[in-house]
Structure formats: structure tokens, C-alpha cells
Amino acid sequence: MATEVTVPVLGESITEATLGEWLKQPGDAVAVDEPIASLETDKVSVEVPSPVAGVMGQHAVQVGDTVLVGAMIATIDAGDGAPAAAAAPQPAVLQSPAAEAQASPAATAGQQAPASDPRDTPAALSPSVRRAVLEHGVDPATVKGTGKDGRLTKDDVAAAAASTPAPAPAPAAAPPVSASVAASTGRKEERVRMTRLRQTIAKRLKEAQNTAALLTTFNDVDMTAVIEARAKYKDLFEKKHGVRLGFMGFFVKAACLALKDIPSVNASIEGDEIVYHDYADISVAVSSPGGLVVPVVRDADQMSVAQVEKTIGDFGKRAKDGTLKMDEMKGGTFTISNGGVFGSLMSTPIINPPQAAVLGLHRIEDRAVVVNGQIVIRPMMYLALSYDHRLIDGREAVTFLVALKNAIEDPTRILIDL
């Protein structure tokens, strides 16, 4: 008897998702609660667990399809995953979607290599890895995956292509349109459907520009004191707390102090009302394979620097693994985005609605500055505060940045709440 696998509840107000990847193929043995598929929502990727143990049955939807909450996406059959129970063997070579649809079951079974790993079949590959395989002409069955559960990554494919001569791609492997363009002009184009996360990012950022009266004010900060404190205590800090001492802990705590002094920067607009928050839930922008995500450090004003660093470090690791939870992305009263880790000198960040402000951090570089009438070299960083001018006046924005600057240049202020 087959058991249906349905799309689970994804979170408040989220009714649909996109099937990003099949983690199990027809005929694979499946354990209870073992992930069989990955769904892309507006914020994070969500794995769909198997409700029972058995054998993976037929896929009801394809990668890239939009599915509703509660919809059936696959079936789980009773059994132990023996090869004879495989319902739909996968071809060992890549084919175009049209060729896959026309291939007969007997021919497909004849082409399949007995020792191939189901995780490396075309349907199991993510769209980006599948494109890399097509570009480099690499047989995925011959490449050892280093990704999650042994699945292939783009780096695995690139390394395999660099170590062995790339075979000439079969005519069916290249899209006909691209082939004709390449043959006539030597120029190629690639069209890739936007992920649901990227669509949501685009929609929210444009909504912020259309709704808020955005303005950005700048300042710079001397990082000497923080750099010296970090160099002096980083070893002891890591030994005691099990996490590296970075700069974000200082900036989060300094921002919390400044938010207390200027509460409008920590507020939001709802209708014709201003909502002031007596807590600081700091959204921290981190990179993930699918785009920028913004998990929330809740009650950051009540945390120590060590607790902030641990929380942000955990967010960063799980963002790369795609295991952030939906609840961890909700809320937030103020955002900090650190473009300096990528080398950014200056930017004008866009607020994350319904928040009223976002702080942009940038790279640290030695610059000549005047201190007590003397020209000296100091490690300087530009700070950018973008804010909703409907709620925050220029005086308040500048005052906030000055308070933040003072706390970073004299970290003792963070300790004594000054």
C-alpha cells in the first residue's frame, strides 16, 4: 500500500513553495523522517520528511514546480528498497527534458549503470550542478560528491573537469537554441529561472523603495580600540566561549546602546501609528547559497558579546547548510548588514520593511586622519545608516551614528552602558 507524501505547513502566511530538489529517487530505501525532497519558500529551504519507512515511489511533481501546502508530491511504497522494486530507473547520462520524456522504460534501464549512486542521477542534481555538468561535459557518476549526504556540488564538477580532458558534449545535451547561437556567432546566453527566495528579495526591496522615504547618512569610525581589544583577548575568548571574537559582537552591542538613546530608529510604522519597541531584535544579514537571508538575534540588548557571537556564528553556518528555520527569520526591529567582508568601501543599504533603518558596515582600511593636530594612520571604516525619513529625522539619524561611533572607538562605553 502506498503512503502519500504531502507538502507540510511551511509557516504563517506561506501557502506555497517551489520544489527545489529531489533527495530520494524512485526505488530508494527511505527511513521514517528521512528527508526526501527540498522545498524553496520565500525565506528558507525546507526539507520534506518521509512519514513512513519503505521505498520511494513515483514523483508527482518535477523540480521547479510550484506546490501548495497539503498537496501530494510523492508516494512511499512498502518494501526495503531492493533493486527489483525500483519503479522508475534513472538514466546514467544526461538528456534534455524532451528526450527523457520519450525514452522507453526498457531502454532507460539498459543505459543505467548498476553501480551508479541515485544521488548523482540527473533528477537528483540541483539545477546549478546540472548546468555545470552540461557545461563541462562531466559524467556525474564518475565524480565523488563532497556536499550534504555525498551529493555533487559545482566545485566537485569543476575540479573533475580540470583534472581530466572534457569530452565533447553530445548534441542532445545542449539546448537547441543555445547550440544554434553558439554555432553562428560564438556567443552564448543562459536563462535561469529566479528562485523563490530571489523573487521575494526583489519584491521586498522594491516595495521598500516604493513605500518608504529612503535617505542615507554616513560617518566613519576609528577601529583601533576594537582591533586592539580583539587582538589582546581573542585567544582567551575562544578558549572560554568556544567561538571566535569578531567585530559583529561589538557592533551589535553598540547598536543596542544607540537604539536606546534614539528609540525612533528601533521603531516601525503600522498604518497611521508608530510602534516603539522596548527591546532590540537585531536582524543580521548573512549569505546563503540561495541569496541573502536575515535571521534575527532576539533580545540582543540582553546578551553578552559572547552570546551574540555564538548566535551569529550559528546563523552563518546553518545559512550555508540551508537549515535555518522559518521562525528565525521573522520579526526584527533593526538590521545590520556587513558588506565589508566582501570588500565593499561604501554603500546605501535598503531597509527591511517594516523596520525603519538599516546599518551598513564596510571594509576596514588604513587612512590618514588628523588626531590632536597630528596626521596619523588609523584603521577606518565607513558607516552608512539608511532610514525611513517618514519616521526618523536627519538629526536623529546623525545622533544615532555618532553614539554608535563613540561606543566603537571607546568600547568601555559598552561595558558601563554609556
DSSP secondary structure letters along 93-146? S---HHHHHH--HHHHHHHS-TT--GGGSGGGS-HHHHHHHHHHT--GGGS---
- Give the phi and the psi of residue 110 in degrees, each rounded to 5: -70, -25
Domain chopping of the chain, boundaries: 3-185, 204-416
Domain 3-185 sits in CATH at 2.40.50.100
**What three-state secondary structure class fits 39?**
strand
Q: How far is CA 223 from CA 178, 299, 310, 359, in A?
A: 51, 25, 22, 16
Check for a shared fold between 3-185 and 204-416.
no
Q: How far apart are CA 38 and CA 192, in angstroms?
A: 19
pTM tops 0.85, yes or no: no
393 in catalytic set = yes
Q: How far apart are CA 63 and CA 127, in angstroms?
A: 8
Q: How far is CA 18 from CA 25, 61, 66, 309, in A?
A: 18, 10, 4, 33
pLDDT of the chain, 418 residues: tens digit per residue: 688 888 888 766 677 788 878 888 888 888 888 888 888 776 667 788 888 888 888 888 888 788 888 888 888 887 665 443 334 444 333 444 444 444 444 444 444 444 444 445 544 566 667 767 777 777 777 777 777 667 777 777 778 877 765 444 555 554 554 455 555 667 888 888 777 777 777 887 888 888 889 999 999 999 999 999 999 999 999 999 999 999 999 999 999 999 999 999 999 999 889 999 999 999 998 887 767 788 999 999 999 999 999 999 999 888 888 788 878 888 899 999 998 888 899 999 999 888 999 999 999 999 999 999 999 999 999 999 999 999 999 999 999 999 999 999 999 888 877 7
Alpha helices in 186-334 (DSSP H): 196-211, 224-241, 248-261, 305-321
Which one from 65, 327, 389, 410 is the annotated catalytic residue? 389
Q: Which amino acid makes up residue 178?
A: S
Which one from 299, 321, 327, 393 is the annotated catalytic residue? 393
- For the domain made up of 204-416, the CATH class stated in words is alpha beta
Q: Which amino acid makes up residue 152?
A: L
